[in-house]
Structure 1
């Protein structure tokens, strides 16, 4: 049980300390893609700690599980993970608790995906009612641009097997050609990076385990960082000023730039300010160092788990 306790302590420390450590400084806004990578590695490390702890506890509690976990391993490796008979009851309890957590995660992920697909179908049906297909048009025409008759400037992307950019006539009248291209590049950035799947995972963990700080912070930061990353993707192609003007054009009529703007809308002025006054990026060496350090985080529970077996083989 010492090894299992070590894994659970490591996972608990990561879950508690990571939000505080990653919340320091302004580097995530300067490097949103890197920040997303670091967050994913932290969450992966926490989940791996739980998965390995569940497998070891299950192997210690039940002979059938032990046979599956250590099937190809020599006897000295199996002996290295042996648990005292008095500890099997606790091992069984921990294994069941972690297995229930894993099952609950799978259930929540299924609910998240189903809810997102239902919302997407509802929005597609609403769009179809407002923009009916032309005679002879195929039911699934693939990727296409939908133009809605609406005075309010707006543009968004419906993800899925056939992503569709929806833009209103108000946006077409207000934005210039390059600004429209920047909006399209922003949405394409979301599609290329599969940001919707990242949002599904973040929402699953946060809703399934609301008391775990790292999961709540993960969902909160992912929503912000994916927008910053998409802004950067658009600005690299069409310039920061053009992208900022496109953001202003789409949002200035919604009251997001006033003092009474809602909290969730206050991110738009911050995004515009970030585009107009960009901070200096981290050096290439520091980015590589942080990327490697983040990639090493999920490797820690792997090394901790396999250390007794490797030591037994060397002996």
Structure 2
């Protein structure tokens, strides 16, 4: 039973230490896409630790599970894990607790998906009512939908026929290529499927609010996906253009005042765009990506080392 316990300890350490280490790092502001990948690998490693520990604990508690899990393995591999020697109530309780967590996570993800789909259907119905298709317009094609509105707003509605929605007030604020930059920003979200990252992070943080890595994962996903989409737009239309578009869309909301505001991240995004900090070198980006990819390999190594040692 040493391996399941080691996996649990590894998962707990990763869940506590990884958010602190990433919070101290300065490079995610400059490379949000790499930072998104690092966070996904960290969370994946934590979930992998828990999943592998659940399987091995169940194998230690119940002979039927052990027989299925090690059906194709030689006898020496099973003996190397010493599962039968110290199973009992501790192994069964651990397996059941982790299985309950897995079912709870799956239920939360399903609820998030269903809620999102319902919201999209409601938004689509409202758009069809307020901005019906014109004669000859392709209903499956991407659309730029203009709605009458006094507040400058724009948002991307994902789906089979993605749509960029802007209000007439926004059109009055956005000058030159700023509307194209906003469109490129929202297309960056759609191309990278940022909505799925947000759904997963929201479900994990909502289901396990006391786990630091999941709470930090949700907060960082909301921030980093916006930075990544800003970079997509700025590479096509320039940093100043997308910065001015952000100012135009948000200047009436108190975002840029001295007081704190729920959307204060917009001010930080504008400052980042205007600062134009250089990107990391290609070598460093590759090194960070490779190191992040190795993080989920650590629990796999811990789980498989006894079996591989027995085969050697």
Secondary structure of 1:132's match? coil
Q: Could you say which residue in structure 2 is the equivalent of 1:220?
A: 219
Q: Partners of 1:86 and 1:30 in 2: how far apart? A: 49
Q: Give runs of aligned pairs for residues 244-263 of structure 1, distance below 5 A.
A: 244-262=243-261
Secondary structure of 2:219's match? helix
Q: Partners of 2:49 and 2:186 in 1: how far apart? A: 35
Following TM superposition, by how much is the alpha carbon of 1:176 offset from its aligned partner in structure 2, in angstroms? 2.1
Q: Could you say which residue in structure 2 is the equivalent of 1:273?
A: 271
Moved more, 142-151 or 110-119: 142-151
Match status 1:132 vs 2:132? yes
Q: Deviations over 1:242-270 (max 9, x none)?
A: 111111111112221112351x3111111
Secondary structure of 2:233's match? helix
Moved more, 86-95 or 220-229: 86-95
Q: Could you say which residue in structure 1 is the equivalent of 2:108?
A: 108
Runs (5+) with no aligned partner, structure 1: none
Secondary structure of 2:293's match? helix
Match status 1:13 vs 2:13? yes
Following TM superposition, by how much is the alpha carbon of 1:132 offset from its aligned partner in structure 2, in angstroms? 2.8
> Is residue 140–residue 160 contact of structure 2 (8 Å, CA) maintained in 1?
no
Q: Could you say which residue in structure 2 is the equivalent of 1:191?
A: 190
Following TM superposition, by how much is the alpha carbon of 1:279 offset from its aligned partner in structure 2, in angstroms? 1.7
Secondary structure of 2:24's match? coil
Q: Partners of 2:105 and 2:241 in 1: how far apart? A: 41
Q: Could you say which residue in structure 2 is the equivalent of 1:205?
A: 204
Following TM superposition, by how much is the alpha carbon of 1:200 offset from its aligned partner in structure 2, in angstroms? 0.6
Q: Partners of 2:311 and 2:83 in 1: how far apart? A: 18
Of the three residues 301, 304, 307, the one matched with 1:306 is 304
Moved more, 36-45 or 69-78: 69-78
Q: Could you say which residue in structure 1 is the equivalent of 2:179?
A: 180
Q: Deviations over 1:269-297 (max 9, x none)?
A: 11011001122222222211111111110
Report the aligned-residue RMSD. Answer: 1.5
Following TM superposition, by how much is the alpha carbon of 1:136 offset from its aligned partner in structure 2, in angstroms? 6.9
C-alpha distance 137-279 of structure 1, shift in aligned 2 (>3 A): closer
Secondary structure of 2:87's match? helix
TM-score scaled by length of structure 1: 0.95
Secondary structure of 1:79's match? helix
Following TM superposition, by how much is the alpha carbon of 1:202 offset from its aligned partner in structure 2, in angstroms? 0.3
Following TM superposition, by how much is the alpha carbon of 1:135 offset from its aligned partner in structure 2, in angstroms? 5.6
Q: Give runs of aligned pairs for residues 32-51 of structure 1, distance below 5 A.
A: 32-51=32-51
Q: Partners of 2:137 and 2:291 in 1: how far apart? A: 52
Q: Partners of 1:89 and 1:174 in 2: how far apart? A: 66
> Is residue 60–residue 86 contact of structure 2 (8 Å, CA) maintained in 1?
no
Moved more, 30-39 or 281-290: 281-290
Q: Partners of 1:280 and 1:133 in 2: how far apart? A: 44
Q: Partners of 1:90 and 1:161 in 2: how far apart? A: 48
Q: Deviations over 1:67-94 (max 9, x none)?
A: 2211221221122123244532211111
Secondary structure of 1:53's match? helix
Q: Partners of 1:247 and 1:60 in 2: how far apart? A: 56
Following TM superposition, by how much is the alpha carbon of 1:141 offset from its aligned partner in structure 2, in angstroms? 3.3
TM-score scaled by length of structure 2: 0.96
Q: Partners of 1:195 and 1:118 in 2: how far apart? A: 18
Q: Partners of 1:237 and 1:123 in 2: how far apart? A: 29
Q: Partners of 2:167 and 2:237 in 1: how far apart? A: 21
Following TM superposition, by how much is the alpha carbon of 1:133 offset from its aligned partner in structure 2, in angstroms? 3.4
Following TM superposition, by how much is the alpha carbon of 1:129 offset from its aligned partner in structure 2, in angstroms? 2.3
